[in-house]
């Protein structure tokens, strides 16, 4: 079983009960709105989410790991998604369930761990990330990790009654190798 250890958190495989806990704990922040990672998932269908994770893992197109505090409390999940082994690329996604665990550095630490894993363990050369224009914390976190804003899809995402721009970022392995030592 995979376990990627950081200073304050570790990443490990999600078990069925972890998916249920994340669905139970998922909170939407109406003060600082962002796209909801678990939108539509309920405790009742958390088993379906777990099965979907397993299916995509077996198909070698996603690696989704739980974000755990060092005391083994699950607080979120992070994923390498849409893995393209031919072009050695993928996208990244992350979610922290409870508002109280956001903006504490756990997400940045999880992203550093999964980026290292993607670049050095599975040979990815390019990782992309997308977020809404209103998700300023995500944009700052991506830029701090070395992601470059590559494009803006104007008014492309309808969310909560409004069309927002989609912000598209990319990070190359060569860029990560230059910036990672100062981040780790």
Q: Taking all residues of the chain, what is their mean pLDDT, rounded to a whole number?
A: 89
Is the confidence at residue 32, as pLDDT, over 80?
no
38 vs 70, more confident: 70
Q: Which residues contact 4 (CB under 8 A, 6 or more apart)?
A: 10, 11, 12, 65, 113, 114, 116, 117
H/E run at residue 143: helix 136-144
User: Could you give the domains of the chain?
Assistant: 3-183 (3.40.630.30)
pLDDT at 48: 86
Q: Report the pLDDT value the prediction gives residue 40, as an integer from 0 to 100.
A: 54
Q: Which pLDDT score is estimated for 37?
A: 54
What H or E segment, with its residue span, contains residue 84?
strand 74-84
CA–CA distance, 105 with 109 (Å, rounded to integer): 6
pLDDT in tens, 34-53: 665 545 556 777 888 888 88
pLDDT value of position 33: 63
């Amino acid at each position: 079983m995979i376990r990627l250890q950081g200073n304050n958190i570790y990443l490990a495989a999600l078990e069925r009960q972890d998916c249920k806990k994340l669905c139970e704990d998922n909170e939407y922040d109406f003060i600082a709105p962002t796209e909801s990672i678990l939108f539509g998932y309920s405790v009742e269908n958390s088993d379906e989410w777990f099965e979907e994770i397993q299916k995509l893992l077996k198909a070698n197109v996603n690696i989704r790991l739980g974000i755990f505090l060092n005391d083994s409390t699950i607080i979120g999940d992070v994923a390498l998604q849409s893995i393209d082994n031919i072009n050695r690329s993928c996208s990244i996604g992350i979610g922290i369930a409870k508002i109280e665990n956001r903006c504490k550095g756990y997400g940045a630490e999880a992203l550093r761990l999964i980026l290292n894993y993607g670049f050095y363990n599975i040979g990815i050369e390019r990782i992309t990330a997308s977020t809404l224009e209103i998700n300023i914390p995500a944009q700052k976190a991506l830029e701090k990790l070395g992601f470059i804003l590559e494009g803006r899809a104007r008014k492309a995402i309808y969310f909560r009654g409004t069309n927002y721009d989609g912000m598209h970022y990319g990070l190359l392995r060569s860029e990560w190798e230059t910036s990672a030592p100062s981040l780790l």
